[in-house]
């Protein structure tokens, strides 16, 4: 019996499937009766692989040959997988296990590829009821997908937090109409649940812990993040716009009704990652994003900042993208509950050291870097009303304006500066951000 590489076999199946499609209009019946069985015979019998498991072969074959409306079933138990499972160019497919803790796809012995499950150029894909365990890279990555649902899916690294873990747990990027619900992410060296450069997003009723960032929305438009538990990460929920990406700016983001608790975990991001700039002890951080509304959250015992509103300049990284706007504007923080026991902010970050030097164990809850976009200033030098940071009706919230433009121009200035802690300067209201409505059936 011949032993060929399993991925070579998979490529042959793909070519056969493409060939079948090209002659579909002439040989439909012949195709269905001959080419489909031939593909399976080649894959299963003529070219078996001594290492690749039967269940992995079955799953990948079904992913390759899936037709619109198909459901690909994942069995109970731990399913060892050696290489990335891929779904490409498909519509209306469900990949379903038997429960978030009953079906476990394990990549612990992964030898090929980086992602666990890769979904590319698809439409209306639903992932349900399984765990992706111990991938070399990202657990589940979806790219260029219109209509992607993660429901009761867990991404986990069993060895605990480590910079060697994959960057992202659940990772839709450059997608539209994204729904993530009842999911769990733990151990990611960047973000457990990450949505990047996407439009129309809902992240709800999910749990993120022991990641660098629990939940991150990056360079994305129209997102609702609500009903989640984000705890024991370095940063609970991040809303960022970063330079150098295809989608230049995000906005219209609502973060509400979340429990953001004790995000004081060590920041274990690999060196060079921008998320490594997030101080441990950050509940919510808004950076360089416009039109963000934060309300009705429970924000408890995040030791460095309950909520931070900052520009990209806080990273001290160069900006080489001329079309990038590094400023934050139009942020409305209201009706949240803040609670914090006296505790020391992180001392592994310069901002944390400064906060401890100036405030000891009683660091204010809402921290603003005070950087104003010069393009949004009126003739009298004040920022336009609808572009302000507005703060109202929060319980137990203390405020700090770092005013880094004026207070950080010399090394000693922050030590002697008189920071503004009067929250009245942000006593204003902005119009509510509209609700996110998904435009595909999820």
What is the DSSP code string of 136-162?
A: SS-SEEEEEEEEEEEEEEEEE-TT-S-
2 occurs within a structural domain: yes
Strands (DSSP E) found in 182-220: 184-186, 191-196, 199-204, 207-209, 213-218
Structure tokens at 245: 């990406």
* C-alpha distance across the termini of the chain, in Å: 45
43 occurs within a structural domain: yes
Rounded to the nearest 10°, the torsion over CA 57, 59, 65, 71 is: 160
pLDDT higher than threshold 90 for residue 33 = no
150 occurs within a structural domain: no
Query: CA 1 → CA 42, 242, 259, 371, distances in Å?
Result: 12, 53, 58, 69
Query: Quick check: helix, strand or coil at residue 405?
Result: helix
Given a contact cutoff of 8 angstroms between Cβ atoms, the answer to whether 203 and 177 are in contact is: no
- The 10s digit of each residue's pLDDT in 85-134 is 999 999 999 999 999 999 999 999 999 998 999 999 999 999 999 999 99
Domain count along the chain:
1
Q: Which residues contact 12 (CB under 8 A, 6 or more apart)?
A: 39, 42, 43, 47
| Region class of 124: left (phi > 0), else alpha (psi between -120 and 50), else beta | left
Q: What is the pTM of this model?
A: 0.88
pLDDT higher than threshold 90 for residue 179 = yes
Residue with token string 């360079």: 219
Q: Return the HEC string of 291-302.
A: EEEEECCEEECC
Give the residue numbers spanning the domain of 8.
1-50
Confidence of residue 374 (pLDDT cuts 50, 70, 90): very high
Query: Could you tell me the sign of the dihedral formed by the alpha carbons of 403, 405, 408, 413, in that order?
Result: negative
CB count in 10 Å sphere of residue 12: 16
Residue 105 belongs to what H/E stretch?
Answer: strand 103-106
Please state the rounded mean pLDDT for residues 339-347: 94
Confidence of residue 4 (pLDDT cuts 50, 70, 90): very low
39 occurs within a structural domain: yes
Given a contact cutoff of 8 angstroms between Cβ atoms, the answer to whether 155 and 127 are in contact is: no
- Return the closest-CA partner of residue 132 out of 71, 193, 88: 193
139 occurs within a structural domain: no
| Region class of 274: left (phi > 0), else alpha (psi between -120 and 50), else beta | alpha
C-alpha to C-alpha distance for 298 and 27, rounded to whole angstroms: 62
Confidence of residue 442 (pLDDT cuts 50, 70, 90): low
Query: Quick check: helix, strand or coil at residue 286?
Result: strand
Specify the DSSP class assigned to residue 7. Answer: H
pLDDT at 52: 53
34 occurs within a structural domain: yes
Query: CA 330 → CA 80, 251, 374, 377, 401, distances in Å?
Result: 48, 9, 14, 13, 16
83 occurs within a structural domain: no
163 occurs within a structural domain: no
pLDDT at 414: 77
Specify the DSSP class assigned to residue 350. Answer: H
pLDDT higher than threshold 50 for residue 21 = no
Find the farthest-apart pair of alpha carbons in the chain and give their distance in angstroms, rounded: 83
Confidence of residue 370 (pLDDT cuts 50, 70, 90): very high
C-alpha to C-alpha distance for 387 and 133, rounded to whole angstroms: 43
What is the DSSP code string of 45-73?
A: IIS--SSS-HHHHHHHHHHHH--TT-EEE
pLDDT at 121: 98
């Amino acid at each position: 019996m011949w032993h060929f590489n399993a991925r070579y076999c998979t490529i042959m199946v793909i070519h056969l499937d493409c060939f079948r499609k090209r002659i579909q209009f002439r040989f439909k019946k012949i195709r269905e009766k001959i080419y489909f069985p031939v593909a399976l015979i080649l894959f299963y019998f003529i070219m078996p692989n001594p290492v690749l498991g039967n269940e992995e072969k079955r799953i990948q074959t079904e992913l390759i040959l899936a037709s619109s409306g198909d459901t690909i079933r994942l069995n109970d138990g731990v399913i060892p997988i050696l290489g990335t499972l891929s779904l490409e160019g498909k519509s209306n497919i469900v990949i379903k296990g038997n429960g978030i803790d009953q079906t476990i796809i394990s990549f612990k012995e992964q030898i090929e590829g980086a992602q666990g499950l890769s979904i590319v150029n698809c439409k209306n894909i639903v992932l349900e009821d399984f765990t992706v365990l111990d991938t070399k890279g990202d657990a589940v990555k979806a790219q260029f997908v219109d209509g992607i649902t993660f429901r009761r899916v867990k991404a986990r690294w069993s060895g605990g937090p480590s910079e060697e873990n994959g960057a992202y747990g659940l990772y839709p990027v450059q997608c539209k109409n994204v729904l993530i619900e009842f999911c769990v992410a733990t151990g990611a060296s960047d973000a457990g649940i990450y949505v990047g450069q996407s439009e129309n997003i809902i992240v709800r009723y999910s749990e993120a812990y022991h990641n660098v960032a629990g939940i991150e929305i990056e360079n994305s438009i129209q997102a609702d993040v609500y009903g989640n538990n984000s705890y024991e990460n370095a940063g609970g929920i991040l809303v960022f716009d970063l330079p150098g990406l295809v989608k230049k700016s995000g906005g219209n983001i609502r973060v509400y009704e979340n429990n953001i608790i004790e995000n004081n975990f060590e920041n274990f991001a690999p060196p060079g990652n921008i998320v490594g700039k997030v101080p441990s002890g950050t509940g919510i951080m808004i950076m360089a994003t416009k039109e963000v509304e934060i309300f009705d959250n429970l924000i408890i015992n995040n030791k460095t900042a309950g909520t931070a509103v900052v520009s990209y300049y806080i990273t001290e990284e160069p900006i080489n993208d001329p079309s990038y706007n590094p400023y934050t504007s139009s942020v409305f923080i209201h009706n949240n509950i803040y609670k914090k026991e006296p505790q020391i902010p992180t001392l592994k970050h310069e901002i944390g050291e400064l906060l401890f030097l100036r405030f000891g164990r009683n660091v204010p809850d809402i921290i603003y870097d005070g950087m104003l976009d010069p393009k949004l200033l009126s003739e009298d030098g004040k920022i336009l009303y609808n572009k302000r940071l507005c703060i109202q009706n929060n319980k137990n919230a203390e405020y700090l304006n770092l005013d880094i433009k004026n207070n950080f121009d010399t090394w000693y200035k922050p030590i002697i500066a008189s920071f503004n802690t009067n929250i009245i300067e942000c006593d204003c209201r902005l119009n509510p951000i509209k609700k996110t409505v998904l435009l595909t059936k999820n």
